[in-house]
């Protein structure tokens, strides 16, 4: 690995971790699409900041972008509060307007400047290491690494400091308001953090893939754990894993790094979706099969118990006719009986089924339950 | 440019005519189908599907190596459709919510498309599908054959919409009832979603990925303010959509360096703003005026009743009462003087000395009627 390759991976990993942290709360608060809206509208902030300073590297651009992010959220809220449109429609109305204004401003007044909408939307991670951070002539590393590193620290600090408040406002906004935690303020603070992260990240990966970085790791982690702290940590880890594997996928295929990162997040999600220990599709299917077997066995022993010692037991508990009485498929009946025998719940006695001692106990318990 | 030349250009200038026609067709189709998306709370589905279409376009280009609109549109259709199915199945099989699934599919599909696009860029005959066109649309580059393709696809979509009108109406307002009567709601859902994908695919070339979602959402959101009837809403929405499309196309042709897609979006957004503010019944301005009127009426009644109570505490009915007392009784409300002036105009009260007021006989009648009404309500 060359040092450039290491640096690209470092930038990718730090960016992914920085995005995954606020992403967790977006996903839990059902505001995932707000990241999509913000990632489009920050373009307006960047353009306006550029007109103000005439400098594409100025920090004013980041502040402007963060402010437009918050503006987006408040416009959506204002529209939503009129109750004339639903929230999803409000988002769908607001961000195209701000984005259109930005595109028109660029094409009319900044056409000859290097404010390339493609670059903003798509980003190019491969070029990030060439922009060096050189205070007083010392080359400390790529600017992007420092920028995303500081954003990661800010996000970590935000979540660490306001963990309790965020948790409460996310899962029980009513209680949070009643206890005086001003969920509204926290909401805007979170949106501010999201905006800053989006701005920082899309220089590296482009605005649309910021959405992948913000949503894919948290929803993958959501399938793995029920604990908020663990979900945050898992998201960050998945973010880093996806970023690095995405880089190598791009290397292997000689394709766009940002695109490959998104694709690798898709793959990770798919694998987790299939194999997650408790919520995965396999685990769920397996559990369903096991439960249906268990249910059938319980039904069988209750049936045996009901007719035990009665005159009709001869007929009811006969292996040949059992499936008719239980209204089961013959195959299924044979399978269930075999399992029940293996588990020592029933035993066969010349063509009849008899409950064992433990089988009788289980059946009685099942009835009581 | 005066209206005459504009009309002349609109008919005889190839580029302007094509662009305006294309934008108009797009507006009709997306306006009509967008109504259903908005009513079914799937406003952002358009955004997701327009992004998800990218890999389909790229793959279709890699296979056919041509920029003919139909295969590209078909590719986009398949990819957008797969994306929708992915969203539906994620929501059905896991506890992940709709919005997260939407964002996830949108970004991952788009990313995969970007990855594939690198292969296109490496082709020797690098006539690539044109990422710019796809992202931002390029209405100016629309050809007559594109507009014809758009019209045929859009016309087919509208026909199917008309054919399944009753079923789609059920789907939008009462799925359970529809299912209980025996309609295949899942299939209808997929069909309607497919039609929405068609509308999106039609628009990608004209306004691009990002702004396509606005073409679906905005006309419908505006039309919703004007009516409560589905048929009327779809018609108004289609009309708004095509109007904004044509006006936007014309405006962007008149002003240099004004991109068509964003201009169309700003036009339709202006229509939305106008509708939100001024639509009859639901408009915010009327709402506000109604609110003010009610407040004034309530205040007037409060002052009238106060004056009546004060008068009833005096033997002499013509004993006047100071405005300061009334103000004290309505603390924090304000507007006491205005209410008194209005009462005077109606002949319910008169000013005997400066700042001193007394009820007239008709004012007393009015007030006692008010009290009786209130007692009845309380009972």
Q: How far is CA B1 from CA B9, B12, B254, B260, B266, in A?
A: 10, 15, 8, 18, 21
**3-class SS at B44?**
coil
Average pLDDT (B333-351) is 81
Contact check, Cβ <8 Å, B107/A211: yes
List of chain B residues whose C-beta atoms are within 8 Å of the C-beta of residue A284? 93
Burial A46-59, CB ≥16 within 10 A → b, else e: bbbbbeeeeeeeee
> Half-sphere exposure of A356 toward its Cβ, with a 13 Å CA cutoff?
12
Residue with tokens 């259903």: B36
Res A309: pLDDT: 76
Contact check, Cβ <8 Å, B102/A96: no
pLDDT in tens, A179-200: 888 878 888 888 889 988 988 8
Burial B182-216, CB ≥16 within 10 A → b, else e: ebebeebbebbbebbbbbbbbbbbbbbbbbbbbbb
Band of the pLDDT at B235, cuts 50, 70, 90? very high
Alpha-carbon gap: A33 to the closest alpha carbon of chain B (Å): 6
Share of chain B above pLDDT 90, in %: 32
H/E/C letters for each residue in chain A?
Answer: CCHHHHHHHHHHHHHHHHHHHHHHHHHHCCCHHHHHHHHHHHHHHHHHHHHHHCCCCCHHHHHHHHHHHHHHHHHHHHHHHCCCCCHHHHHHHHHHHHHHHHHHHHHHHCCCCCCCHHHHHHCCHHHHHHCEECHHHCCCEEHHHHHHHHHHHHHHHHHHHCHHHHHHHHHCHHHHHHCCCCHHHHHHHHHHHHHHHHHHHHHHHCHHHHHHHHHHHHHHHHCCCCCHHHHHHHHHHHHHHHHHHHHHHHHHHCCCHHHHHHHHHHHHHHHHHHHCCCCCHHHHHHHHHHHHHHHHHHHHHHHHHHHCCCCCHHHHCECCCHHHHHCCCHHHHHHHHHHHHHCCCEEEECCEEEECHHHHHHHHHHHHC
Q: pLDDT at residue B317 above 90? A: no
Res A267: pLDDT: 95
> Half-sphere exposure of B221 toward its Cβ, with a 13 Å CA cutoff?
34
List of chain B residues whose C-beta atoms are within 8 Å of the C-beta of residue A30? 97, 99-100
User: Alpha-carbon distance B1 to A357, whole Å?
Assistant: 99
In chain B, beta strands by DSSP E: 321-322, 349-353, 356-359
User: Alpha-carbon distance B321 to B232, whole Å?
Assistant: 57
H/E/C letters for each residue in A55-86?
Answer: CCCCHHHHHHHHHHHHHHHHHHHHHHHCCCCC
Dihedral (C-alpha) A273, A279, A285, A290: value to the nearest 10 degrees?
Answer: 150
Furthest-apart CA atoms within chain B: distance in Å:
105
**So what's the ipTM on this one?**
0.86
Q: Nearest by CB to B43, which of A88, A108, A254?
A: A88
Contact check, Cβ <8 Å, B217/A93: yes
**A109-123, B47-61, B156-170, B202-216: range with highest mean pLDDT:** B156-170
* B142 neighbors B205 (Cβ within 8 angstroms): yes
Res B129: pLDDT: 46
Furthest-apart CA atoms within chain A: distance in Å:
100
pLDDT in tens, B126-148: 555 455 566 667 777 788 888 88
Q: Nearest by CB to B114, which of A99, A222, A259?
A: A259
Of A27-36, B269-278, B336-345, the poorest mean pLDDT is in B336-345
* B226 neighbors B280 (Cβ within 8 angstroms): yes
Res A123: pLDDT: 65
Interface test with B, best of A89, A98, A271 (most B CBs within 10 A): A89
pLDDT in tens, B44-81: 888 888 889 889 988 988 888 777 778 888 888 899 98
pLDDT in tens, A69-120: 889 999 998 998 888 888 889 999 999 999 999 888 888 876 655 555 555 5
Res B136: pLDDT: 67
Instruction: Judge residue A160's burial from the number of C-beta atoms within 10 Å of its C-beta, 0-12 exposed, 13-18 middle, 19 or more buried.
Output: exposed
Strand partners, B357: B321, B351
What count of CB pairs under 8 Å joins A to B? 203
Instruction: Judge residue A288's burial from the number of C-beta atoms within 10 Å of its C-beta, 0-12 exposed, 13-18 middle, 19 or more buried.
Output: exposed
Alpha-carbon gap: A228 to the closest alpha carbon of chain B (Å): 15
Interface test with B, best of A12, A20, A22, A33 (most B CBs within 10 A): A33
Res A120: pLDDT: 59
Closest-approach residue (CA) in chain B for A222: B96
Contact check, Cβ <8 Å, B111/A222: no
Question: What is the residue-averaged pLDDT of chain B?
Answer: 85
**What are the pLDDT tens digits along chain A (369 aa)?**
678 888 889 999 999 999 999 999 999 998 899 988 998 888 898 888 888 887 776 778 888 888 898 899 999 989 988 888 888 899 999 999 999 998 888 888 766 555 555 555 666 677 777 777 777 777 777 888 888 899 999 999 999 999 988 999 888 888 888 888 887 888 888 888 998 898 888 777 777 788 999 999 999 999 999 999 999 999 999 999 999 999 999 999 888 888 899 999 999 999 999 998 888 889 989 999 999 988 988 888 888 888 877 777 777 777 777 888 888 888 888 888 888 888 888 888 777 788 888 888 888 888 876
**3-class SS at B125?**
coil
Contact check, Cβ <8 Å, B111/A265: yes
Alpha-carbon gap: A18 to the closest alpha carbon of chain B (Å): 17
User: Alpha-carbon distance A270 to A131, whole Å?
Assistant: 35
Contact check, Cβ <8 Å, A259/B118: yes
User: What tokens does B47 get?
Assistant: 């955004």
Contact check, Cβ <8 Å, B115/A108: no
Q: pLDDT at residue B113 above 80? A: yes
Question: What is the residue-averaged pLDDT of chain A?
Answer: 86
Global confidence as pTM:
0.84
């Amino acid at each position: 690995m060359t040092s450039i390759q290491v640096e690209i991976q470092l930038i990718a990993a730090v960016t992914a971790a920085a995005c995954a942290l606020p992403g967790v709360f977006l996903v839990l608060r059902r505001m995932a699409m707000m990241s999509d809206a913000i990632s489009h509208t920050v373009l307006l902030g960047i353009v306006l900041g550029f007109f103000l300073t005439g400098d594409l590297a100025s920090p004013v651009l980041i502040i402007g972008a963060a402010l437009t992010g918050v503006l987006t959220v408040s416009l959506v809220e204002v529209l939503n509060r009129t109750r004339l449109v639903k929230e999803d429609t409000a988002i769908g109305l607001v961000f195209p307007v701000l984005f259109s204004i930005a595109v028109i401003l660029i094409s009319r007044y900044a056409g000859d400047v290097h404010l390339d909408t493609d670059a903003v939307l798509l980003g190019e991670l491969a070029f990030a290491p060439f922009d060096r951070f050189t205070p007083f002539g010392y080359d400390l590393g790529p600017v992007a690494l420092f920028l995303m590193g500081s954003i990661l620290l800010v996000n970590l600090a935000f979540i660490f400091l306001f963990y309790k408040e965020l948790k409460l406002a996310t899962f029980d906004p009513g209680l949070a308001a009643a206890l005086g935690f001003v969920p509204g303020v926290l909401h805007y603070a979170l949106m501010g953090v999201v905006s800053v992260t989006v701005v920082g990240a899309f220089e590296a990966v482009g605005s649309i893939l910021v959405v992948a970085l913000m949503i894919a790791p948290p929803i993958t982690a959501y399938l793995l754990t029920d604990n908020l702290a663990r979900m945050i940590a898992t998201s960050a880890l998945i973010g880093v894993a996806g970023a690095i594997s995405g880089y190598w996928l791009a290397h292997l295929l000689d394709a766009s790094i940002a695109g490959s990162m998104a694709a690798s997040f898709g793959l990770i999600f798919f694998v987790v979706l299939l194999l997650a220990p408790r919520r995965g599709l396999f685990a769920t299917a397996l559990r369903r099969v096991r439960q249906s077997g268990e249910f059938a066995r319980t039904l069988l022993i209750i049936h045996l118990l009901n007719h035990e010692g009665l005159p009709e037991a001869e007929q009811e508990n006969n292996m040949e006719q059992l499936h008719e009485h239980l209204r089961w498929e013959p195959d299924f009946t044979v399978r269930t009986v075999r399992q029940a025998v293996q588990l020592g719940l029933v035993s066969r006695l010349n063509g009849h089924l008899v409950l064992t001692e433990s089988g009788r106990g289980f059946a009685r318990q099942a009835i009581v339950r | 440019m005066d209206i005459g030349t504009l009309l002349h250009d609109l008919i005889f200038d190839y580029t302007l005519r094509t662009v305006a026609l294309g934008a108009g067709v797009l507006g009709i189709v997306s306006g009509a189908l967008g109504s259903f998306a908005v009513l079914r709370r799937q406003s952002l589905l358009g955004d997701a599907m327009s992004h998800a279409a990218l890999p389909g376009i790229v793959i279709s280009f890699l296979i056919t190596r041509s920029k003919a609109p139909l295969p590209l549109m078909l590719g986009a259709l398949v990819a957008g459709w797969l994306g929708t199915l992915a969203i539906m199945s994620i929501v059905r099989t896991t506890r992940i919510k709709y919005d997260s699934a939407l964002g996830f599919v949108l970004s991952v599909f788009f990313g995969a498309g970007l990855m594939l696009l690198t292969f296109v860029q490496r082709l020797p005959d690098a006539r690539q599908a044109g990422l710019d066109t796809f992202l931002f649309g390029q209405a100016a580059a629309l050809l007559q054959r594109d507009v014809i393709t758009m019209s045929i696809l859009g016309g087919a979509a509208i026909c199917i919409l008309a054919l399944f009108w009753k079923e789609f109406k059920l789907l939008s307002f009462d799925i359970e009832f529809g299912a209980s009567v025996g309609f295949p709601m899942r299939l209808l859902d997929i069909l309607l979603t497919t039609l929405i994908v068609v509308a999106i695919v039609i628009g990608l070339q004209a306004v691009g990925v990002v702004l396509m979602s606005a073409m679906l959402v905005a006309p419908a959101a505006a039309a919703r303010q004007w009516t409560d009837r589905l048929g009327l809403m779809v018609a108004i929405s289609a009309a708004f959509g095509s109007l904004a499309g044509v006006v936007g196309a014309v405006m962007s042709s008149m002003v240099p360096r004004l991109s068509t897609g964003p201009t169309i979006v700003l036009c339709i957004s202006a229509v939305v703003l106008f509708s939100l503010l001024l639509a009859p019944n639901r408009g915010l301005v009327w709402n506000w005026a109604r609110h003010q009127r009610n407040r004034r009426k309530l205040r007037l009644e409060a002052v009238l009743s106060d004056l009546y109570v004060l008068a009833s505490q005096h033997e002499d009915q013509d004993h006047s009462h100071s405005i300061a007392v009334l103000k004290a009784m309505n603390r924090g409300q304000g507007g006491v003087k205005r209410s008194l002036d209005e009462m005077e105009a109606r002949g319910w009260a008169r000013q005997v000395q400066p700042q001193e007021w007394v009820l007239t006989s008709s004012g007393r009648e009015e007030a006692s009627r008010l009290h009786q009404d209130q007692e009845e309500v309380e009972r």
